[in-house]
Amino acid sequence: MEISFIGAGNLAWHLAPALENAGHHINEVYSRQLQHARQLVSNLYDARTHSDLNFADSPSRLFVLAVSDQAIETVCSQLVLPENAILVHTSGGQSLKNLEHWMAIYSDVPIRTGVFYALQTFTRGRSFMAFEGIPLCIEASDPSTEEALVQLGQDISDIVYIVSSEERLTLHISAVFACNFTNHLMALAHDLTVQQGLEFDLLKPLISETFRKGLAVGNPADVQTGPARRSDLVTLDKHLTYLQSQPRLSEMYQVLTESIQQYYATHDL
C-alpha cells in the first residue's frame, strides 16, 4: 500500500519502518518540526518530506495521522487529501466519530476514515520495535476500509482486533494505569532513594520480579504483597511518618494504600 505519514513523533518513528519492512511504501512524511520529518525519512527507503498539509496530488492511498489528540482537529481543518483516500488516526482516546465529523466538515472530497491504534509505549529515537507482538486495534467507517486496515495490521502484527471507540477508550485508560502510572511510581522511587544517597539499582531486581509475577498470573491481584495487603498498620504508620516532609508523596501513599485495602476488603469476602 502507498502510505504517507502526518506526524513524525514517537509512534511514527517505529510504525513507518515496520510498514516499510512489511512491503508497503512510505511516500511522504509531514511534521511541523521539519527536523523530525527529515530524521524519520532518513530511516526509510525513498520517502521524502512534505512541506505542508496539501496532499491532493499524493500517490498515497493511506494517510496516517500520528499527532497528539489535541492537534487532530486542527490538522484536519487544513488537510487536503485525494478523493476516497483513507485517513486513520492512531489515538487511544479519540473516537472514530470525531474523525468522521471533522472530515465531513473540512474536506471538499469524500474521505474514508479509520483508527489504527497500537497498544504499546513508543519513544522516538530508540531502536525500532518489532510489531509482531504488539496488539493493533482497528476501527473503520465502512467494511472495505476495515478489511484494508485489518490486512495492513496483519502484515506487521500477530495480534489484530476490531475494537470500538468505547472499547479502545477502556484499553487506553487501562494502559495509563498499567504503563504511565507505574513508570511514574518508579520515577518517584528513584528520587526517594537518590535523596538518601542510595542507588536506584538496588530496587531493579524487585521491580523485575514484581512485573514477572504480575504477568505470569491471570489477575495481578493474586500476587499482591506489601504492608497494605497484609494490613500491617505499624509499618504503614512508620512510612507515613517518614513522608511527613513530602506531603505530595504522603498523599499518594495514603491513596494507594487505601485503594489496596478497600480492594481486598471486597474481594476477600
CA 108 to chain centre: 31
| φ, ψ of residue 16 in degrees (nearest 5) | -60, -50
What's the predicted TM-score (pTM) here? Answer: 0.93
What confidence score (pLDDT) does residue 268 get?
67
pLDDT score recorded for residue 165: 97
**Beta-ladder partners of 88:** 64, 114
Cell of 39: 530524521
**Rounded distance between C-alpha atoms, residue 198 and residue 178, angstroms:** 26
pLDDT value for 47: 97
Q: What's phi and psi for 153, nearest 5 deg? A: -60, -45
* pLDDT digits 0-9 by tens, 167-203: 999 999 999 999 999 999 999 999 999 999 999 999 9
- Taking the alpha carbons of 155, 156, 160, 165 in that order, is the dihedral positive or negative? negative
Dist CA 128 CA 247 (whole Å):
40
**Cell triple for 31:** 511534521
Q: What is the pLDDT of the chain when averaged over all its residues?
A: 96
* Residue ranges per structural domain of the chain: 2-163, 169-267
pLDDT of residue 267: 80
Cell for 62? 493511506
User: What whole-number distance in Å separates Cα of residue 14 and Cα of residue 246?
Assistant: 39
Q: What is the 3-state secondary structure (H, E, C) of the chain?
A: CEEEEECCCHHHHHHHHHHHHCCCEEEEEECCCHHHHHHHHCCCCCCEECCCCECCCCCCCEEEECCCHHHHHHHHHHCECCCCCEEEECCCCCCHHHHHHHHHHHCCCCCEEEEEEECCCCCCCCCCCCCCCCCEEEEECCHHHHHHHHHHHHHHCCCEEECCHHHHHHHHHHHHHHHHHHHHHHHHHHHHHHHCCCCHHHHHHHHHHHHHHHHHCCCHHHHCCCCCCCCCHHHHHHHHHHHHHCHHHHHHHHHHHHHHHHHHHHHCC
Fold annotation for 2-163: Rossmann fold (3.40.50)
Report the CATH architecture of 169-267.
Answer: Orthogonal Bundle (1.10)
Instruction: Report, in angstroms and rounded to the nearest whole number, the Rg of the chain calculated over CA atoms.
Output: 23
**Tens of pLDDT along 57-111?**
999 999 999 999 999 999 999 999 999 999 999 999 999 999 999 999 999 999 9
The count of other CB atoms within 10 Å of the CB of residue 159 is: 14
Condensed to tens digits (0 to 9), the pLDDT of residues 15-50 reads: 999 999 999 999 999 999 999 999 999 999 999 999
| φ, ψ of residue 112 in degrees (nearest 5) | -90, 140
Q: What is the pLDDT of residue 38?
A: 96
On the question of pLDDT at 145 being above 60, the answer is yes
pLDDT at position 260 is 96
What pLDDT shows up at residue 239? 97
pLDDT of residue 269 exceeding 60: no
